[in-house]
Amino acid sequence: GDGVGRVSMHLVSRGPQVIALAGRRFAFAAGEGLHTEDSYKYAPEAFRALARAAGWEPVACWTGGDPQGWVPGAALFSLHLLHRPP
């Protein structure tokens, strides 16, 4: 991450390899990385503020806990219902 709630994911080749995909070939050297995603994480209130700033009205928010107990009391995901006023 970079301090703004971003998690960057990469795959790293364990050895030299060539991947065939959609009729093309891609060569990777040992240790070469492939950036696969940036995922942004927001606390529920921070997400509601972001939604409001974009013109959406938060209606409801549901959060899910941590069934494994890794982070007691933590909400590890949230689902937001938003309304776009006319």
Helix, coil or strand: residue 52? helix
Q: What is the pLDDT of residue 22?
A: 97
Q: Which two tokens stand for residue 71?
A: 């982070």
Could you tell me the pLDDT band of residue 77, with boundaries at 50, 70 and 90? confident
Q: Is the pTM of this model over 0.75?
A: no
CA distances from 28 to 12, 20, 33, 55 (A): 9, 11, 8, 44
* Cα–Cα distance, 29 to 16 (Å, whole number): 4
Could you report the per-residue pLDDT of 35-75, keeping only the tens digit for each?
999 998 888 999 999 999 999 999 999 988 776 767 766 77
Query: Taking Cα atoms as reference points, which of 52, 70, 68 lies closest to residue 80?
Result: 52
